[in-house]
């Protein structure tokens, strides 16, 4: 015997084009009792690896083995995915800063309200997948309100945030006493196959930890746990030329280690340098290839591993 798979399309409203703004929630119900677990991706439309992780997890799912319920939201912001952008193109709002949303607010707030009222209720646990966007690559997992769940994802670098940014779906889930793990993995179109594979393995390990699926739990035992992150943004625009690559993610370097230089592409002058700020700096997010940067763009996220 096997479990049940249903799909609910949640309609937020009608766009100016006449087309509906809607997103699907897949519900997989097992034959035996167990927790209700949410799996989500695509809250930011330029974070594609998480969407592929969800697709592969679902493709390999045997509902006959499932305990409880797995509720899957593969694309949280369809408009942002269509535009391949972090923000909703229609109002330039960041969906992951406006939860719990507002049914009478900006379009993005209406979308957040629909997710908050149709996807989150009834969850015992939530695994929310993110990446770093088009240019950078990232590799870490948040420790929020359930360290064992975060460790079950098998990451080497973990950020003991305690609480994420206000207005995120993860923060709302924590406030609702849902066991929550937020994953930041991949991006930048570099080594995405490897990151997707790791993401699938991590999600399946976490689902085994929760008792939703059978299998081994590959929990992190020797992780680097940081409690302070420095977000480094470019001050000058130009071409950022890295001195460290994607293979250096999770690496610990000394204070002052050169990470990248930015050059003016017209005059060839060096306009900015990026260096490690801590005695033991762990590389969490970086740009692994030559990229264009604007002032204010994400360049690095660096953890204090001291």
Q: What is the 3-state secondary structure (H, E, C) of the chain?
A: CCCEEEEEEEEEEECCCCCEEEEEEEEEECCEEEEEEEEECCCCCCCHHHHHHHHHHHHCCCCCCCEEEEEEECCCCHHHHHHCCCCCCCCCCCHHHCCCCCCCCCHHHHHHHHHHHHCCCCCCEEEEEECCCCCCEEEEEEECCCHHHHHHCCCCEEEECCCCCCCCHHHHHHHCCCEEEEEEEECCCCCHHHHHHHHHHHHHHHHHHHCCCCCCCCCCCCCEEECCEEEEECCCCEEEEECCCHHHCCCEEECCCEEEEEECCCCCCEEEEEECCCCEEEEEEECCCCEEECCCCEEEEEEECC
For residue 173, what are the β-bridge partners?
none
With 0.75 as the threshold, say if the pTM is over it.
Answer: yes
CB of 95 within 8 A of CB of 112? yes
Q: What angle do CA 213, 217, 173 make, to 5 degrees?
A: 70
Name residues whose C-beta falls within 8 Å of residue 45's C-beta, 6 or more positions apart in sequence. 77, 78, 79, 80, 81, 82, 83, 84, 85, 86
From residue 200, alpha-carbon distances to 60, 77, 177 in Å are 10, 21, 25
Q: Determine the Cα–Cα distance for residues 66 and 34; give it in Å rounded to an integer.
A: 8
Q: Determine the Cα–Cα distance for residues 245 and 92; give it in Å rounded to an integer.
A: 31
From residue 269, alpha-carbon distances to 257, 298, 300 in Å are 21, 21, 22
What's the pLDDT at 98? 98
How would you write the pLDDT of the chain (306 residues) with one tens digit per residue? 578 999 999 999 999 999 999 999 999 999 999 999 999 999 999 999 999 999 999 999 999 999 999 999 999 999 999 999 999 999 999 999 999 999 999 999 999 999 999 999 999 999 999 999 999 999 999 999 999 999 999 999 999 987 788 999 999 999 999 999 999 999 987 878 999 999 999 999 999 999 999 999 999 888 999 999 999 999 999 999 999 999 999 999 999 999 999 999 999 999 999 999 999 999 999 999 999 999 999 999 999 998
CB of 196 within 8 A of CB of 56? yes
Which is it for strands 258-263 and 179-186: parallel, antiparallel or unpaired? Answer: unpaired
Q: Determine the Cα–Cα distance for residues 146 and 206; give it in Å rounded to an integer.
A: 12
Q: Determine the Cα–Cα distance for residues 77 and 85; give it in Å rounded to an integer.
A: 10
Full set of structural domains in the chain with CATH: 4-210 (3.40.630.10), 228-304 (2.40.50.100)
What's the pLDDT at 1? 54
Residue length of the chain: 306
- Residue that the structure tokens 């030329």 belong to: 241
């Amino acid at each position: 015997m096997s479990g049940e798979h249903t799909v609910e399309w949640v309609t937020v409203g009608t766009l100016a084009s006449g087309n509906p703004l809607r997103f699907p929630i897949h519900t997989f119900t097992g034959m035996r009792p167990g927790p209700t677990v949410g799996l989500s991706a695509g809250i930011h439309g330029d974070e594609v690896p998480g969407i592929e992780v969800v697709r592969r997890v679902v493709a390999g799912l045997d509902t006959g083995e499932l305990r409880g319920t797995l509720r899957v939201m593969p694309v949280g912001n369809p408009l942002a995915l269509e535009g391949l952008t972090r923000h909703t193109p229609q109002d330039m709002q960041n969906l992951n800063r406006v939860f719990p949303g507002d049914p009478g607010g900006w379009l993005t707030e209406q979308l957040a309200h629909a997710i908050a009222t149709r996807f989150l209720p009834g969850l015992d646990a939530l695994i929310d997948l993110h990446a770093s966007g088009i240019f950078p690559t990232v590799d870490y997992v948040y420790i929020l309100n359930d360290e064992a769940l975060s460790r079950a994802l098998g990451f080497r670098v973990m950020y003991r945030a305690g609480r994420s940014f206000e207005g995120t779906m993860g923060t709302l889930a924590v406030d609702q006493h849902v066991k929550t793990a937020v994953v930041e993995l991949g991006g930048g179109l570099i080594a995405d196959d490897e990151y997707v594979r790791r993401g699938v393995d991590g999600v399946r390990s976490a689902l085994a930890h929760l008792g939703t699926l059978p299998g081994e739990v590959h929990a992190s035992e020797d992780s680097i746990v940081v409690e302070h992150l420095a977000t480094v943004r470019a001050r000058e625009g130009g071409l950022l030329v890295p001195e460290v690559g994607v293979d250096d993610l999770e690496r610990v370097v000394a204070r002052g280690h050169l990470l990248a230089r930015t050059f003016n592409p017209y005059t060839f002058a060096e306009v900015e340098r990026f260096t490690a700020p801590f005695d033991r700096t762990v590389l969490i997010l970086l740009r692994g290839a030559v990229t264009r940067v604007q002032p204010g763009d994400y360049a690095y996220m660096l953890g204090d591993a001291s």
